[in-house]
Structure 1
Amino acid sequence: MKNNKEEKVVSISTENIYVLNGRVPLKKAIPFGLQHVLAMFVSNLAPVLIVCGAAIVRGTGEHLTSAEITQLLQCAMFVAGIGTCMQLYPIWKIGSKLPIVMGVSFTFLGSLLVICTNPQLGYEGMIGAVILGGIFEGLVGLSAKYWKRFLTPVVSACVVIAIGLSLLSVGMDSWGGGNGVSDFGAWYHLLVGAFTLIVCLVSRYLLKGVYKNLNILVGLIFGYLLSIIFTVANIAPMVDFSGISKTISEVGIFSIPKLVFFTSHTPVFDLGAFFTI
């Protein structure tokens, strides 16, 4: 049994895609890995963009600047990388020793939007609630062996269904161009969204073998290309290149993520915001 296990790890084969420690040929590992990273990348950025786009600064009523949102995106990806490494290489009881990509969750999106749009709490109140909520969730996770027997498959299924239904509105908002944009529901947003979906479905049908699973990557690439073409050809403003250059001039091409305690937005710890999460 030991030799067979070692053979699965050492040998290189397409079948190893579904083996925990299996090695896959490089020409297949690169596109599958790229799709996985891009899919995780988008899901990490979307909640941050949605929340930060709606968040107001406590006491002023102003929104976050594009440079501040960019720095928050950096922090999200930086911490997601650390969390993923801790899952792969556990420390004490923290980590599963499985290839789990950690990132930003859509689960708390509704609660965060309620907090960050409250003038008395704002972005600072949301950050304080997230810090307290993170500590609480960590303690709950470490004590899971005492209460996880109460989470039957029926309970888990209901929670997953509820999360999925709550995200339908988020997906439709993205399809329409994004939450709060002035041209929400414009024909070019709907066209790019429909085009991306069709490319994903067609790719799933046309690609052969294990490459069928690359349909999401193909849809992402073609969707972005169509958006760039619309922008360059002055058909529709899909990509704001001026905003990109302005943000780079303020943040820089490379910068180290800043801790929230060292910024102008000091966290506010409010029990009402904590219980909302």
Structure 2
Amino acid sequence: MLTTHTTDAGDNPSSDAVDQKIPLPRCAALGLQHVLVMYAGTVAVPLIVGGALGLSKADIAFLINADLLAAGIATLIQALGLWGFGVRMPVMMGVTFAAVGPMIAIGINPSLGLPAIYGATIAAGIFGMLVAPLMGRLLGVFPPLVTGTVITLIGISLMGVAINWAAGGQPTVGRVIDGMSHATANPDYGDPAKLAIAAFVLLVVLAITRFGKGLIANIAILLGIVAGVCVSLAFGLMQFDGLAEANWVALTTPLHFGMPRFEFTAIVSMCIVMLITLVESTGMFLALSAITGRRMTPELLTRGLRADGLGTVLGGVFNTFPYTSFSQNVGLVTVTGVRSRYVAAMSGLFLILLALLPKVAHLVASVPSFVLGGAGIVMFGMVAATGVRILGAVDFAKNRHALYVIAISIGLGLIPTLSPNFFQHLPAWMHPLTHSGIVLGTCAAVLLNLFYHGVLSKDRAFALAASTSHGSE
């Protein structure tokens, strides 16, 4: 079994273990394990965004290929280093869920669409590279009270996506009648057969997390989806349109959906997301520092955060989205005891290889939404639970204002989810901000925390980020 607690570096964390070169067969097996752990999460965002924007299956498959390619390149940069980029630790990179809400808000605007998403992504990546050296100071604006609130809000907001998935799609569908577009009820929404399969996937995930060990437990989401796919195939509920026509091998071309558009409000939305991801990555890097024994320095932290920004720029160029380090893979480093950054680099190569196989992407895009729904309830619920865990670091007994920050931020953040037309009379240029609950909730949490508590000192902020992130693994 791959997931053992042994390590070639001994029982004590050692910086030497990070640079250790592992024999190729073992390195490949461990790298594949990392890919399996993060694969479901890294392809989920293209599925969510592509479905929300009404993209064709071929376009969604292209997004998945682009996502895997950019994730592989970003992982290689983080693990191996490139000039002034890369933290040079076992980091796996994937698309951040924090960007889902703002990207959908931008993409569904007819005057913006995908080109504006990619323009905002490129601009946010450049912004991330520029502010990377300042994150030691900015971290004081994102204590556990703020980051925990934001991550909880992300999970709650995305839960609506999982619920609609489980029910078989959106409750209403667009139809053209007499040349006019109308929203009508989706007759298949809530089909008992689809609900049953979603419930089956959820039960499989629960069973694996309860009784599975090692690698099996780590890929419970992926195995639950596979089980749901098998049942869907047995009942003829999967469609493979376009699979036969897809090439076995293809290259992801930059700017496939056209030249990026740089819209101010869209850029502001994505820059806020970039700040959140940089804070998350800072916590992950500090946790990895404690796990691997490699001392975190300001220079090393800056290199890692710059690589996040560079990966996001590459995402915009290669038709995908903002990138961040994946926490589940940080946990896997702890479980396996293998701290070599070359394992992560091998995983990056596997991701690039998968990106070259369009038929694989078409197969992933053919997974029915109700199958994803069963897994999504767990996946997005875990995001919310992570936020709750981070909030556990807050001393509510001594901080009577913390509940106000959480309550008001989540309340405001849920407005676009619970009442999509709430801000309909505000100017259109504000929609990327007002139509994203994550952005609204984040702005509220930051401003309320500053109002009640001010800014934490740099040393205190770093200590809290390190303890919070390490405690999650």
CA distance 1:117–1:210, shift in 2 (3 Å) = closer
SS, match of residue 154 in structure 1: helix
Aligned partner letter, 1:276 = S
Match of 2:269 in 1: 276
Aligned partner letter, 2:233 = I
The answer on whether the counterparts of 1:127 and 1:267 sit within 8 Å (CA) in structure 2 is: yes
The answer on whether the counterparts of 2:49 and 2:103 sit within 8 Å (CA) in structure 1 is: yes
Give me the TM-score of the superposition, normalised by structure 2.
Answer: 0.45
- Residue 126 of structure 1 and its aligned partner are, at CA, apart by 1.9
Q: Distance in 2 between matches of 1:175 and 1:64?
A: 19
Unaligned runs of 5+ in 2: 1-5, 174-185, 271-473
The answer on whether the counterparts of 1:47 and 1:106 sit within 8 Å (CA) in structure 2 is: yes
- Residue 141 of structure 1 and its aligned partner are, at CA, apart by 2.6
Task: Give yes or no for the alignment of 1:199 onto 2:204.
Answer: yes
- Residue 218 of structure 1 and its aligned partner are, at CA, apart by 3.3
CA distance 1:160–1:126, shift in 2 (3 Å) = same
Q: Distance in 2 between matches of 1:33 and 1:110?
A: 31
Trace 1:56-71 onto structure 2 (pairs within 5 A): 64-71=55-62
Q: 2:127 aligns with which of 136, 157, 165?
A: 136
CA RMSD of aligned residues (A): 3.3
Q: Distance in 1 between matches of 2:214 and 2:145?
A: 34
Aligned partner letter, 2:124 = G
CA distance 1:64–1:159, shift in 2 (3 Å) = closer
Trace 1:35-184 onto structure 2 (pairs within 5 A): 36-55=34-53, 64-179=55-170, 182=186, 183-184=188-189
Cα deviations by residue, 1:179-216 (Å, 9 ceiling, x for unpaired): 57753322232112111111122233333577544533
Aligned partner letter, 2:193 = Y
Q: 2:229 aligns with which of 220, 224, 239?
A: 224
Q: Distance in 2 between matches of 1:276 and 1:215?
A: 33
CA distance 1:39–1:191, shift in 2 (3 Å) = farther
Aligned partner letter, 2:42 = N
The answer on whether the counterparts of 1:35 and 1:216 sit within 8 Å (CA) in structure 2 is: no
- Residue 255 of structure 1 and its aligned partner are, at CA, apart by 0.7
Q: Distance in 2 between matches of 1:10 and 1:197?
A: 38
Q: Distance in 2 between matches of 1:172 and 1:75?
A: 27
The answer on whether the counterparts of 1:71 and 1:258 sit within 8 Å (CA) in structure 2 is: no
Cα deviations by residue, 1:100-131 (Å, 9 ceiling, x for unpaired): 22111221211111111111112222221221
Match of 1:244 in 2: 243
CA distance 1:223–1:129, shift in 2 (3 Å) = same
The answer on whether the counterparts of 2:40 and 2:221 sit within 8 Å (CA) in structure 1 is: no
Match of 2:449 in 1: none
The answer on whether the counterparts of 1:93 and 1:142 sit within 8 Å (CA) in structure 2 is: no
Q: Distance in 1 between matches of 2:116 and 2:124?
A: 12
Give the length in aligned residue pairs: 244
Match of 2:373 in 1: none
CA distance 1:225–1:66, shift in 2 (3 Å) = closer
Give me the TM-score of the superposition, normalised by structure 1.
Answer: 0.74
Match of 1:254 in 2: 249
Q: Distance in 2 between matches of 1:171 and 1:264?
A: 27
Unaligned runs of 5+ in 1: 1-6, 56-62, 232-236
Higher RCO (CA < 8 A, seq sep 6+): 2
Match of 1:60 in 2: none
The answer on whether the counterparts of 2:71 and 2:93 sit within 8 Å (CA) in structure 1 is: yes
- Residue 173 of structure 1 and its aligned partner are, at CA, apart by 2.5
The answer on whether the counterparts of 2:40 and 2:222 sit within 8 Å (CA) in structure 1 is: no
- Residue 40 of structure 1 and its aligned partner are, at CA, apart by 2.2
- Residue 74 of structure 1 and its aligned partner are, at CA, apart by 1.2
- Residue 35 of structure 1 and its aligned partner are, at CA, apart by 6.0
SS, match of residue 103 in structure 1: strand
Q: Distance in 1 between matches of 2:213 and 2:56?
A: 45
Cα deviations by residue, 1:45-96 (Å, 9 ceiling, x for unpaired): 22212222343xxxxxxx6443333222211110001111122112344322
